[in-house]
Structure 1
Amino acid sequence: MAATIFEFFGYRAADASDLAKRAADTETCPISGNTCQKSFNDGVISGVCAIKPITSEPVICCPIRLYSDNYRILSDIADRVFGPDLKLIAGRRAVKHAVDQQEECVAVFGKGWGGELRLPQKSKKGGYFVDWVLAKLNDQGELIEFVAVEVQTIDTTGTYRPGYEALKKERSIEKTTAGLNWENVAKRILPQLIYKGQILQREELCRSGLFFVCPAPVFERIMERLGGQEGLIRYALQPASITFAVYDYDMPEKPVSEGLIPLKNTLNHSTTVYKVQEAFNNVTLPVENVYRDAILRALGSTTSE
């Protein structure tokens, strides 16, 4: 597989503006405002937000890229679950805000906000953790309900190091051997969704289940693995919900060469953890005797029973 770097330190690789160059020179992520967290094995900061396979559209490979527009994905989910216009407050400050302002608010627990929640570990591996917890508080600072949020992009295979070197030195785009690790959809992403969805349905105050935020190409590949979106019947939000919240680039009709590309919420599909698990287990098998026929071909035989 071959691909080019599509976004580099937040900006399009083709963006030669002073802002784009400054972000690369200072290794700053314009989404978080901090030093980029993506790095190569040797510790060199890579700055790669998205790659573009030669034969398809660009795919976001850094979760922080989905936090653009001041963590809009979190406010989108809070609006849908709790109602519009509630303020999002870092978790540990939320009670004081609710009481002092005499207003409902949303306590946010997650990296860079209220910190991760301390939860019991599964075999010392932290299997219960989710990326974000949004908790609605009343005007007395009391917990009313909460919702869990997972944010997932896609890992890469191969290497985009030559593309990084070309962009760093000359702001030029070079083809790389980078690819996308779609195997993780079946091996890691879906099993985790099912497991965490089952845990959350037992929480009396988690009335809307789990939201799974991902780029459009990742959602499309998940749907391929599950046999198609039409097989996942839509349900209203409930404790056993898994809601796929899909985001994609909001490309203008007239292409522009500079600035961050905004993201848009293209789809929200709510189903249940049971439907996802059922579809995941419903494996489509190949025709019979595929191993036998492969062996015969390898042996040079052209006949089979």
Structure 2
Amino acid sequence: MSGTIHEIFGYRADDKSEVARRAAEQYRCPILDSRCEKQLHTTGDGPAGVCSIKPMTSSPVVCCPIRLYADEYRVLRDVADIAFGPGPKLVPGGSAVPVAMRDGRPVVAVFGKRWGGELRVPKKSGTGGYWVDWVLALVNERGDLEEFVAVEVQTIDTTGNYKNGRRALLDTREVVKTTVGLNWENVNKRILPQLVYKGQLLQRESLCRKGLFFVAPRAVYNEVIKRVGGVEKLPTYALQPASVTFLAYDYLQREPVDGDVAPLERAVQHSTTVYKLQEAFNNVQLTDADVYTHAILDGLGLA
């Protein structure tokens, strides 16, 4: 596999503006307006800074979840508007009740990293716990919890190595080919099982009336849909406790502007149920019988 770095420290790799160069020199993430948190596997080279990858045969794909939080966490605002209706402002979870009572209007309490902290829920055994990335809770003007939704944000892990491409961009702002690839197998091994498990868990929550929201780059969403056999396997349902709502984001189709963080737009909104998702995930299309036998025979020179 091979590809190039598409965005580094928030800006396009081919953006040679002063603001892009300065962000790279300072290892600064313009999304969070702070030092990049993504570390390289090797020490001593500073933060990785890679936001998205351009495979040689396809469009760029976001690989850093923080990249999806551009435009002041626009994705969380989108979820809140869909789940609760437009209007209530987003407030860090711990301050939501006093703010709602002070202003005399509902607010959305946000629990997640850099907001109100992630909420840990114990497992049935009483040890460990499971997390969702975000919980958005509607708090009314009296300070009462009315309902909530959970939000999972997923990009895609990389394979191979982009160290030479990163070094070239930091040194000369030159885009060079690397061995980096994208780990699509995680869709099967991690993303889909987690969506099914967490969706079923949330369906038992009396105040989780709109279910689970899954936010991802459009390429990751497309891979999920491909894995379950097509979008026709996930019929549309109205929001309900058993809902799984997919929100997929892609780059806004416009001429690139140097010095700007490329805007993202919501490309897909699709709500189904966790039961339809589980059914589609379990109904895999198997290969022909004896494929392992034929491969072994071929390896033995007996085919």
TM-score bin, normalised by smaller chain: over 0.9
Corresponding residue number in structure 2 for 1:3: 3
- Structure 2, unaligned runs of 5 or more: none
Alpha-carbon contact 1:251-1:261 (below 8 Å) kept: no
- The offset of 1:289, in angstroms, is 2.1
Which structure 2 residues correspond to residues 201-212 of structure 1 after superposition, within 5 A? 201-212=203-214
- Structure 1, unaligned runs of 5 or more: none
Cα-Cα RMSD: 1.2
Distance 1:85 1:103 in 2: 10
Corresponding residue number in structure 1 for 2:289: 288
Corresponding residue number in structure 2 for 1:269: 270
- The offset of 1:257, in angstroms, is 3.8
Distance 2:70 2:79 in 1: 14
Corresponding residue number in structure 1 for 2:103: 101
Q: Does 1:42 align with 2:42?
A: yes
Which structure 2 residues correspond to residues 200-239 of structure 1 after superposition, within 5 A? 200-239=202-241
AA in 2 matched with 1:22: R
Distance 1:111 1:216 in 2: 23
Corresponding residue number in structure 2 for 1:30: 30
Distance 2:60 2:186 in 1: 18
What SS does structure 2 have at the residue aligned with 1:173?
coil
Which structure 2 residues correspond to residues 11-22 of structure 1 after superposition, within 5 A? 11-22=11-22
What SS does structure 2 have at the residue aligned with 1:203?
coil
Q: Which moved more, 1:85-94 or 1:58-67?
A: 85-94
Which structure 2 residues correspond to residues 56-205 of structure 1 after superposition, within 5 A? 56-121=58-123, 124-127=127-130, 129-205=131-207
- The offset of 1:49, in angstroms, is 0.2
Distance 1:115 1:203 in 2: 20
The superposition leaves residues 180-239 of structure 1 with CA deviations (integer Å, 9 ceiling, x where unpaired) of 011110101111111110110000000000000000000111111111111101100000
Alpha-carbon contact 2:111-2:135 (below 8 Å) kept: yes
- The offset of 1:121, in angstroms, is 4.0
Distance 2:95 2:272 in 1: 33
**TM-score, structure 1 normalization:** 0.95
**TM-score, structure 2 normalization:** 0.96
Q: Does 1:256 align with 2:257?
A: yes
Alpha-carbon contact 1:66-1:73 (below 8 Å) kept: yes
Q: Does 1:242 align with 2:244?
A: yes
AA in 1 matched with 2:22: R
AA in 1 matched with 2:261: L
What SS does structure 2 have at the residue aligned with 1:265?
strand
What SS does structure 1 have at the residue aligned with 2:142?
coil
Corresponding residue number in structure 2 for 1:298: 299
